Chains A and B, each alone.
Chain A
């Protein structure tokens, strides 16, 4: 099985949302649930570079039924939306699934849609690429690798996304670096100083960010301290 990352022209709800405001950086389809009458419920994450109000989003998306909208806690300009819309607003997703491709990420950016998807083999890749190019225009293959596992359709990044709403980017970076360098293994493969050096921050800053990340993780698991 092949995991393919590629770019394609904007289409569907991605182009609608990105046309709302230049400050909208990207829109990602986190989940999709088909419902009757050619409709689909989409979970979306919209990230903005600076303030774009929820009212602006709702006003400009008046042709789409927004079921729910929420803003993340630490990343001030990130919104999570649940929308009910016609499948014609999710043409890329429909094209991929109709062609028996498993989409892992569909991210609309200003110049293109970035897609990560699993396909059976080389011939399947050619078939899917042909269909996409015929419907939407030229694609650009970015990367490919071989994989034994199918992986999760969409939402594969959901845990990270949930966390990225609860943890600051700096806390996430510290946590990921510490994890990757083996700070949490027994025995430890690196000490705090080595991680701090790697990130070019002081040990006290490292400690503060790690504790902040651990606190946020506990808050997510156990709820607020009462």
Chain B
């Protein structure tokens, strides 16, 4: 199983902890994907991960292009992701996870399908299927 966790802000330690301790299983691969719009948090990410007691291999990436759903899907295809995790940064007054522009683009993207599930602070696109871009040839 391969998991992508989107890193969107400095306030992501709690999301990393939940993904590593409650969502992924031992032996899985995790790709921590920093969005270009987010500052560089490499050092604080590694500190957080080293503090959590889990045995998963992880890599930290920065999305090379702008943080659009299409670029994210290309990355998901590249790493053969089964799951994309998004931290719930804010909630509505009724407790719903607030949906931002990128999240909406992912949820409504025609090339992406699977199951949408919720953890404590993580929204997870599970059993992910990414349709490859149609060939132009």
Interface set of A (CB-CB < 8 Å, partner B) = 2-3, 5, 116, 121-123, 125-126, 129-130, 140-146
Contact = CB atoms under 8 A, between A and B. Distances in A.
A111 to B, nearest CB: 18
A142 B98 contact: yes
Contacts of A144: 96-97, 99, 107, 116, 123
Contacts of B14: none
B117 A146 contact: yes
Nearest to A4: B96
Contacts of A129: 108
Q: Is the interface of A mostly helix, strand, loop or mixed?
A: strand
B61 interface: no
Given A129-B108, A142-B96, A144-B97, 6 more contacts: A5-B96, A116-B94, A121-B116, A122-B115, A141-B104, A146-B118
Contact of B107 (A5, A125, A145): A125
Contacts of B103: 141
Interface string B107-126: 11010011111100001010
Nearest to B114: A122
Nearest to A5: B96
Contacts of B92: 5, 142-143
Contacts of B118: 145-146
A141 B107 contact: yes
B134 interface: no
Contacts of B108: 125-126, 129-130, 141
Contacts of B125: 122
B115 A121 contact: yes
Chain A CB within 10 A, most for which of B94, B96, B104, B115: B96
A145 B104 contact: no
Contact of A141 (B91, B99, B115): B99
